[in-house]
Every structure is written in C-alpha cells, then in structure tokens.
Amino acid sequence: TFVSTIVNLQTTSYPTSHARLENPPDTPYFVNNKLIKSKTTQWIDVHDPATNFVVTRVPQSTSEELTAAVNAAETAFSDWKNTSIITRQQVAFKLVGLIRDNWDRLAASITLQQGKTFQDARGDVLRGLQVAEQACSIVNELSGQTLEVAKNMKTEMYREPLGVVAAICPFNFPAMIPLWSIPLTIVTGNTLILKPSERDPEAAIILAQLAAKAGAPPGVINVVHGTAPTVDFILDEPRIKAISFVGSDKAGKYIHQRASANGKRVQCNLGAKNHAALMPDANKSAALNAITGAAFGAAGQRCMALSVLVTVGETKDWLLELKDLAKQLKVSGGFDSKADLGPVISPQAKQRIEGLIQSAEDEGAEILLDGRNFQSVEFPNGNFVGPTIITNVKPGMKCYDQEIFGPVLVVVNVDNLDAAIELINKNKYGNGSAVFTTSGAVGNKFQKNIQTGQVGINVPIPVPLPMFSFTGNKGSFLGDLNFYGKTGIYFLTQYKTVTTHWRDEDTEVIDKAVNMPT
Ligand code: NAD
C-alpha cells in the first residue's frame, strides 16, 4: 500500500491543461510523512470542473487508516511539543520557501480540481503563504507572563499546545484554508489531522509534503480523506482536542454541536451574504470595477465574494454600466490565460445556482444579465455559469435569503445610507460588507454602525492580512477564537500557570497551615 516517501515536487511533471488524463493516479493519504495508497473499497471521483473528466479518485479513508493517522499524530506530539521554538520556527521559515518554489504546481492543481483561473489559484496560494510567513514571527505571541505575587513567590503563565488538532476544509480555497492551519500547528507545537475537501484534495497533499520537506517530523502534519464518516470520526475521537472547520452552515452547525458536546474546542467559519453599499458620491469607475471583480471573480465561489449590491439613491442608474463590465468577462477553463472566471465546482452546483436565478424571476425580480445556459465552445461539458445580475430584489426572495455561491450579483435599491445599513444589519450573516464613497463621514458612519465582522471602505473584499484575524461574525462564525493571527495562536494553545516559592535558605517553618491564607 505504501506509495512513496516525499518526492522532489519541483522536478516531477503535473497537468497544466484541461486535456483528458490517460491514467489518472489515485490520491494517496499522508501519514508519518509518507504518501500511502488507501485500502478502502470506497472511492470518490474528482472531476475537472471545466470538462468533467475524472482527474483522480479520492479514498474514503478506512477507520483503521484514520486511527493510524491519530496514532501517528499523538506519538509525534510528545517530542514535537518539547522541540525548541526556534526549531519549529525554522520549519515554518523553510515551508515558506518551499511554497514559493512550488507555487505554480500548487496553483495548477487548484485550477485542475477546483476550476478557478490559474492566476486566481496563484492568489489562493499567496493568501495561505502569507499566513505561513506571519507564523514565522508570531512566535512572540506564544510568550506568557510572569508576576512576583508574594515574597519569594512568582506565578508564570505559559501557552502550551493542545495536542492533536484537526482541520476540516471546504472546496473553494484548497491551499489557503489548509494553510490557515498547517503553519500555526507547526509553530505552536501541536500535531494536525487535516481533511481537505473530497472535491479537490491535491493541494493539501502537496502542502503536507512540503511541510515534511521543511522539517516537520513524521506525524506532525497528516492528511486523511473522505466525507461525513471521516468527519464523524474526527468529531468523536477523544485524542483530537480542537477542530477548525470552514464550510457551509449545515455542516458547520452540526460539527460545532457534536464536537462541543464531546468537549472539544471548535472554531467554525460558515456561509455568507456579503453586501456592498454604493453611494452616489462614490468614484464610479473604481467602484464598478471593484464590484465586478468581487462579484464574479472565482465564479463567486469565495466566502467573501460580493453577493448583494445595495444601490443607494441614484446609483441604481449605474447598473447598465455594471452590466457592460460584467459582459466583457471571459468565462472559460481556468488554464485559458484569458479567462476571467472559470466553471463552478460541479454540475449540481450549476443546477442549484441556475435554480436560484429562476426563482428570482418567478418571484418578480428582473434578470438584468443572465448567465444561465452558458455554452463554452472549447469546454462544452464544463459547469459554467456566466456572470448574472438580478435587480429589484427584496429580502424574502430566495435569491436574497440564500447563499448562492456562484457568479450572481443580486441588487437591492434603497433611498439612503441609513436604509442600507439597516438592510445589511438585518441579514443573518456577518462575514463582510463594504461601502463605496468619497466621503469620510459616510465611511465613518458605515464603519461604526455596521454589524459585519469585516468591513471594507472602498475595498470590496476586506479579508484581513494575517497580522490580523479572519473576523466574520453573526451567522458566519461559530466559536469565540478566530482563524489565524493572534487569535489563531490562542485557539491552538492553552494556559498553564506555575506558582513557585523559593524560601530563603535559613527560613524556619513553624506554622502548620491548614486554613486558606487570610
Ligand atoms: P461543505 O460544508 O459542503 O464542506 C466543507 C467540509 O465539510 C468538507 O470537508 C466536507 O467533506 C465536509 N462536510 C460536508 N458535508 C458534511 C456533513 N453533512 N457532515 C460532515 N461533514 C461534512 O462546504 P463547501 O461546499 O466545501 O464550501 C463552501 C461553503 O464554505 C460556503 O458556504 C462558503 O461560504 C463557506 N466558506 C466559508 C468561509 C469563511 O471563512 N467564512 C471560507 C470558505 C468557504
């Protein structure tokens, strides 16, 4: 069953087009720094979303394999937690270099399995790489506190790793989201069981190999595969102490509940409906270009995609210009260097998205630009949806209430800024919001009164760099410590306090202390 120890990824070839693969290799799992072929009898086909050709099969890991992964992680933890912080930091430094060296390879695997354009896939890698870079310096956050609390007595507070932790990842950022966990696991001295999405597992496997190459000892970073049975194993395995989940509301609520009931720490980043308020005083061309990119880039499959445009007052008259910009976008296979957006992840996703567009029409909204039934000449079997703009939308319509997760922008008109803020605050989600304006006063009012956790002022997708944390709130987050940044470190560590008393050598102790000191 053993496939290989880590290879020199840079010298092996990999697909960079949508051509059908002759003999697509199965995806191995990764335990103890080895790539291993699963003994499972259940395999899940992974398709290139541009063609629907099978590009690999991913195993539903067996319970023996899952247990072996946790055994490896548990065994590795006892040494890894005692490895000096400098050594762990060096592994993070080397990982940064290796991700840079293998950037295109990672991006190509994302384009092939996830569908986004190659340039956008490079951006997916970059946003994860930045977390790895930040992890090299964030070790400062691991230092504790000391206080002399009485004569000759001091209390020290340490931040200690938790043990084996797990990450359950979504399909839409196959490199960035595993990299929210891998570098921080390394520097904090934990060990990791990572489950990538069963729809695009390869980037995680590459990253695990790079971590091993960077010096992470066997068992520190492990990758297992599958769907709900793998997740249930992770939720119920008592040796796994904490779970980082990113994905849909349905899976996230279930995971939060079951893992919490099992006494685990849990952080869950969930769905979103991100609004942008477009003010009449905005820089029109800058705003419309930013809105186009944020709504349709990555085919709208970003948790911070702009999915609702709130036109304030006369800006509803700018929509024809927005439509013209959206129409110019090229929809094609992600390896097409001219593509602006690629396909959505699956035929089912395409069907669901097109169904929501239809529901908008049925409920009285207007389809200003219709991306349904998009036909690509080069890729006739791909899951393409063209950029779509739906106007005259009202809360209560399905296309407003549900996360569409496709290249679809719904537009709601309001009269003024207050009405825009009220609308956005009534939405159950709290991932991101933006305002386009040239007025500082408007920007301030928006910032102060809006309830989303990530706010952009003339910034359409305000995802914070990893000096900060990913701070979605309300229905977009469950837990209390966010991903990456300082709170990412806090999530992965627990306090230990040590109180020490060194008496003066000549102290004679005569009290038998049976009471609490008063
Ligand atoms: P998903 O919930 O379908 O899958 C996420 C993970 O959960 C996968 O690993 C999957 O195998 C597992 N899973 C799915 N259903 C499960 C179930 N019933 N029981 C147990 N495990 C299950 O999500 P997705 O479609 O891969 O990703 C898209 C969603 O993720 C969108 O809702 C998007 O908004 C959200 N997302 C949020 C953020 C954020 O930071 N807030 C970032 C990226 C994606």
* pLDDT digits 0-9 by tens, 90-139: 999 999 999 999 999 999 999 999 999 999 999 999 999 999 999 999 88
How much distance in Å is there from the Cα of 169 to the middle of ligand 1?
Answer: 7
Count of beta carbons in the 10 Å neighbourhood of residue 494: 15
Q: Is 454 in the pocket of ligand 1 (CB under 6 A)?
A: no
Q: Which token pair is 506?
A: 């000549």
Q: Is 437 in the pocket of ligand 1 (CB under 6 A)?
A: no
Q: How far apart are CA 412 and CA 175, in angstroms?
A: 34
- Residue 272 CA, closest ligand 1 atom number: 34
Q: How far apart are CA 302 and CA 49, in angstroms?
A: 16
Q: Which token pair is 292?
A: 């186009």
Local structure of 449: helix, strand or coil = helix
Q: Could you tell which of 42, 172, 223, 267 is best to mutate to test the pocket of ligand 1, judged by most ligand atoms within 8 Å of the CB?
A: 172
Q: What is the pLDDT of residue 3?
A: 62
Q: How far apart are CA 439 and CA 416, in angstroms?
A: 14
Q: How far apart are CA 78 and CA 417, in angstroms?
A: 56
Q: Is 228 in the pocket of ligand 1 (CB under 6 A)?
A: yes
Please state the length of the chain.
Answer: 518
What pLDDT, in 10s, does the model give residues 422-474? Answer: 999 999 999 999 999 999 999 999 999 999 999 999 999 999 999 999 999 99
How much distance in Å is there from the Cα of 170 to the middle of ligand 1?
Answer: 4
How much distance in Å is there from the Cα of 154 to the middle of ligand 1?
Answer: 46
Instruction: Pick the catalytic residue from 136, 169, 268, 303.
Output: 303
Q: How far apart are CA 244 and CA 267, in angstroms?
A: 5
Q: Could you tell which of 66, 199, 233, 303 is best to mutate to test the pocket of ligand 1, judged by most ligand atoms within 8 Å of the CB?
A: 303
What pLDDT, in 10s, does the model give residues 43-92? Answer: 999 999 999 999 999 999 999 999 999 999 999 999 999 999 999 999 99
Q: Taking all residues of the chain, what is their mean pLDDT, rounded to a whole number? A: 96
Q: Band of the pLDDT at 41, cuts 50, 70, 90?
A: very high
Q: What is the pLDDT of residue 510?
A: 76
Q: Which token pair is 372?
A: 């349904």
Beta pairing, strands 408-414 & 306-312: parallel
| 47: nearest Cα among 373, 344, 303 | 344
Nearest CA to ligand 1 atom 23: 247
The alpha carbon dihedral of 339, 345, 351, 354 has a sign of negative
Q: Is 405 in the pocket of ligand 1 (CB under 6 A)?
A: yes
Q: How far apart are CA 230 and CA 62, in angstroms?
A: 8
Q: How far apart are CA 335 and CA 111, in angstroms?
A: 7
What pLDDT, in 10s, does the model give residues 126-146? Answer: 999 999 999 999 888 999 999
Q: How far apart are CA 107 and CA 119, in angstroms?
A: 8
Q: Is 463 in the pocket of ligand 1 (CB under 6 A)?
A: no
Q: Classify residue 508 as left (phi > 0), alpha (psi -120 to 50) or beta.
A: beta
Q: What is the pLDDT of residue 514?
A: 84
Q: Could you tell which of 197, 234, 266 is best to mutate to test the pocket of ligand 1, judged by most ligand atoms within 8 Å of the CB?
A: 197
Residue 200 Cα distances to 165, 196, 203, angstroms? 21, 7, 7
- Residue 476 CA, closest ligand 1 atom number: 41
Nearest CA to ligand 1 atom 26: 170
Q: Which residue has the tokens 């006369």?
A: 314
What pLDDT, in 10s, does the model give residues 483-516? Answer: 999 999 999 999 999 999 998 887 787 777 788 8
Q: Which residues of 96-135 are buried (b: 16+ CB within 10 A; e: fewer)?
A: bebbeebbebbbbbbbbbbbbbbebbbbbbbbbbbbbbbb
Higher-pLDDT residue of 8 and 265 is 265
How much distance in Å is there from the Cα of 344 to the middle of ligand 1?
Answer: 15
Q: Is 326 in contact with 369 (CB distance < 8 Å)?
A: yes
Count of beta carbons in the 10 Å neighbourhood of residue 336: 20
Count of beta carbons in the 10 Å neighbourhood of residue 375: 10
Q: Is 299 in contact with 407 (CB distance < 8 Å)?
A: yes
Higher-pLDDT residue of 1 and 303 is 303
How much distance in Å is there from the Cα of 197 to the middle of ligand 1?
Answer: 8
Q: What are phi and psi of 427, to 5 degrees?
A: -70, 145
Residue 487 Cα distances to 108, 247, 445, 455, 510, angstroms? 31, 19, 27, 18, 47
What pLDDT, in 10s, does the model give residues 254-312? Answer: 999 999 999 999 999 999 999 999 999 999 999 999 999 999 999 999 999 999 999 99
What pLDDT, in 10s, does the model give residues 333-374? Answer: 999 999 999 999 999 999 999 999 999 999 999 999 999 999
Residue 388 C-beta-side C-alpha neighbours within 13 Å: 31
Q: How far apart are CA 310 and CA 427, in angstroms?
A: 13
- Residue 271 CA, closest ligand 1 atom number: 34
Q: What is the pLDDT of residue 10?
A: 62
Q: Is 8 a residue whose pLDDT tops 70?
A: no
Residue 297 Cα distances to 62, 171, 334, 384, angstroms? 37, 16, 12, 13
How much distance in Å is there from the Cα of 297 to the middle of ligand 1?
Answer: 19
What pLDDT, in 10s, does the model give residues 379-402? Answer: 999 999 999 999 999 999 999 999
Q: Which token pair is 89?
A: 């930091």
303 counts as catalytic: yes
What pLDDT, in 10s, does the model give residues 152-210? Answer: 999 999 999 999 999 999 999 999 999 999 999 999 999 999 999 999 999 999 999 99
Q: What is the pLDDT of residue 512?
A: 77
Residues forming beta bridges with residue 47, ordered by sequence position: 54
Local structure of 331: helix, strand or coil = strand
Q: What is the pLDDT of residue 350?
A: 98
